[in-house]
Structure 1
């Protein structure tokens, strides 16, 4: 059976010096890609199932106009293997259409700076110790855009969000041809973006992937292999929208539930006169069998978020001296000492949720 799964492409592997190496999370991906195996799973992830039920309830309420505002207290702590003099960048919320009233509650060490210039918001530490952390509070609103396609206007001049951003937003011949087939003769920017969203959520499956630094061109990889994680779904959507002449950009941070949080990425498209609207293709994909829930994630967003990054592949403030562990995003923090970057396998990262309360 294992050989059959390999042959059918369910198991990710690399061949190095004639030896097979399997991706550490291949078992999770096997369940993602082969739905029949889900029936044989002996142990369910009850924590994730409960969060999914809660989220689905909120989707239905938001669709009915019953939007809420939540106050969340969360944080991130990293622990290095040994004490040294480190420079550390940890993600914190950034104010935007959803997030307001941000407060830094406590940090370790006490002295820190907070980024003012970068589109990836961080607290920055420089200290000689093993453990670094930040705890913060923010208010986040559920959003829902009621868009009338007949009222959509022509594309705004937003060149930055219509351009390539190498290497992962690249207008390759393959992606141009695919995008043109999907949007056809459609002229309305909103409907073009929605056609792309539907194609991705219909055809691209969700899987865990190795670190992004190992990929040459993420958007083309996803389009050809029809699989990838949330950030890969987002990058493909952004790339195809830009090819189609629809401004699109990155947004990311954490997926936050009352009990836990984990890294998550999604996108936004600019629809005049409505402005930037959220699009979460990976959340749409896992709900593709329910049209109401799938369409929710094109133009609406829940409050199960901590948003820290408004762009990808950008420099920190202050900048790092050495290459980053994740050159695309920042959700688990970045560390370096006086000699080199400290990669993820050299420190432990813990993301925690302390409070998750509805306030309006």
Structure 2
């Protein structure tokens, strides 16, 4: 499990603890000349451990140059990867106090200053400290909307519609489609994923390793077909659409790449079914605790953790209830009522080794992925098999990456739960209380057909194993890209230059 510096980093995040390093470097501008790359690397490692990420980044970069000049490629790679980690720790935190208050004042000019001041205190905002300066999360302003129903409803009223809720309500509040269930109302999509790597980020030699996401076969996602992968001559393994994660792996020799941008693409087709479960709690079934499925999905993972604190929280939510179906419902309704949707700094959490479910338990902050992992962790703590499943939601006009959860009942199979979409009812400016309640109730045991499933759970390892490379390991909704000879962080380049497009067929 990812533990590492979790306790220290959580203190830094929540309390704004200023790291004091007497006699040490406090800003990247003060990086001294060295000439001894081993000494520079040691200083960089020390700065990183002390939470001086800007200083660490500059020192790692200096060490990289010194090792490169000395012809020590393996040490240069270590220094480069250190720079990537240091930058990832604070990349999502661009604001200092002045900057975040400017953004808040510009967005909410009519809100009283005392109310605005309460939005940025530790515990009410997401913060990190680097080089003795408190930095604020890039999603702070958006999270203020999500945490204040009066503000988000006013915003949606001004726009004249409520994104996500309006699209999903047509299914959640609409007539029950014909069919016996639980899989009804099939919708077929064709999708195209395109990665365009800028030519100026690619060196003249080395190998670009790329894992591209694909759809997988599940109970609700069927008839998966990979129509093309280009350039096909560089495929090393896959396409694989029948396992726990959909991937195709390519290795591209950069010596063979022509001048200009490099384009890699996939095209595929799949049919997604709406899920409508009608569950009798008395017939939920009895778990076979020796079943490999039960063991796998009630065990802790890197981000779905089982701790005494998590188990205590789960017990608080369910009380004396012992029926697994009713327990799963109580957890769902508790999260909806007590944990408002929030954008979260996934890159920092992954880099620091902070489990997402623990982060939400401790801070209350979490988006669809964090909420789904938290839900699964709470269920697993009670002995209910659960997982965080994801890829994209394809609600017309608001398509985007998404995660949701599932829990397992022996007599029914995997039952869907989408806490995040359910909370969209709270954003609507014109939904009635009854409509909000019905909408939220739909997303426990039911799921709209506008989904694209890439992976059956979080923390599924890549195949082939990337080794100890600097990789975003939690989810793989976008390409994983590695290159030992590149000076740019190619994972971040890929995120910026990846595009998914879908059309209903």
Q: TM-score, normalised by structure 1?
A: 0.89
Q: Does 1:26 align with 2:133?
A: no
Q: Is residue 17 of structure 1 aligned with residue 131 of structure 2?
A: yes
Q: What is the CA–CA distance in structure 2 between the aligned matches of 1:124 and 1:110, rounded to whole Å?
A: 10
User: Whose strand fraction is larger, Structure 1's or Structure 2's?
Assistant: 1
> Partners in 1 of 2:397 and 2:118 — Cα distance?
38
2: distance between equivalents of 1:208 and 1:259? 20
Quickly say closer, same or farther: Cα 1:43–1:61, change in 2 above 3 A.
closer
Corresponding residue for 1:83? Answer: 202
Secondary structure, aligned partner of 2:474: coil
Specify the alignment match of 1:185 in structure 2: 320
Question: What aligned pairs does 1:320-331 form with structure 2 within 5 A after superposition?
Answer: 320-323=466-469, 325-331=471-477
The aligned residue for residue 171 of structure 2 is 58
Instruction: Please state how far the C-alpha of 1:33 moved relative to its aligned partner.
Output: 1.3
User: CA 1:116–1:32 in 2, change beyond 3 Å: closer, same or farther?
Assistant: closer
Partner SS state of residue 278, structure 1:
strand
Stretch deviating more after TM superposition (343-352 or 100-109):
343-352
Looking at structure 1, the residues matched to 468 and 264 of structure 2 have their Cα atoms a distance apart, in angstroms, of: 19
Q: Alignment partner of 2:497: what SS?
A: strand
The equivalent residue for 2:370 is: 232
- What is the aligned counterpart of 2:296 among 160, 165, 174? 160
Query: Which runs of no fewer than 5 residues in structure 2 stay unpaired?
Result: 1-112, 427-432
**Contact 2:360/2:371 (<8 A) preserved:** yes
1:40 Cα deviation (Å)? Answer: 5.7
Match of 1:204 among 318, 330, 339: 339
| Aligned: 1:132 with 2:245 | no
Classify the secondary structure of the residue corresponding to 1:206.
coil
Partner of 1:216: 354
| Residues 206 and 215 (structure 1), Cα distance of their counterparts in 2 relative to 1, 3 Å cut | farther
Cα distance per residue 1:114-161 (max 9 Å; x no partner): 136852211222224422221211111111010011222222331111
Q: CA deviation at 1:305?
A: 0.8
Q: CA deviation at 1:195?
A: 1.0
2: CA distance between counterparts of 1:323 and 1:19? 29
Match status 1:114 vs 2:234: no
Q: In structure 1, which of residues 285, 310, 314 is the aligned counterpart of residue 456 of structure 2? A: 310
Q: Which moved more, 1:345-354 or 1:122-131?
A: 345-354
Match in the other structure for 1:4: 118
The structure whose Rg is larger is: 2
More helix by share: 2
Single out whichever of 60-69 and 291-300 deviates more from structure 2: 60-69
Answer with 236-245 or 33-42: which moved more.
33-42
Contact 2:390 2:455 in 1 (8 A): yes
Cα gap change, 1:64/1:175 in structure 2, threshold over 3 Å: closer, same or farther? same
CA distance in 2 between counterparts of 1:42 and 1:148 reads 38
Q: CA–CA distance in 2 between the matches of 1:42 and 1:93?
A: 33
Provide TM-score, normalisation by structure 2: 0.65
Alpha carbons 2:226, 2:239 under 8 Å: kept: no
What is the match of residue 100 of structure 1? 222
Q: Who is 1:257 aligned against?
A: 395
Contact 1:118–1:314 at 8 Å: present in 2 too? no
Q: Which residue of 2 aligns with 1:292?
A: 438
Q: Distance in 2 between matches of 1:202 and 1:63?
A: 26
RMSD: 2.6
Q: How many angstroms does 1:44 deviate by?
A: 6.3
Shift of 1:83: 3.4
Question: Would the alpha carbon gap of residues 71 and 325 (structure 1) be closer, same or farther in structure 2, given more than 3 Å must change?
Answer: same
Q: 1:174 and 1:51, CA in 2 relative to 1: closer, same or farther beyond 3 A?
A: closer
Residues 346, 354 of structure 1: alpha-carbon distance in 2 compared, 3 angstrom cutoff: closer
Confirm or deny: 8 A CA contact 2:220 2:272 kept in the other structure.
yes
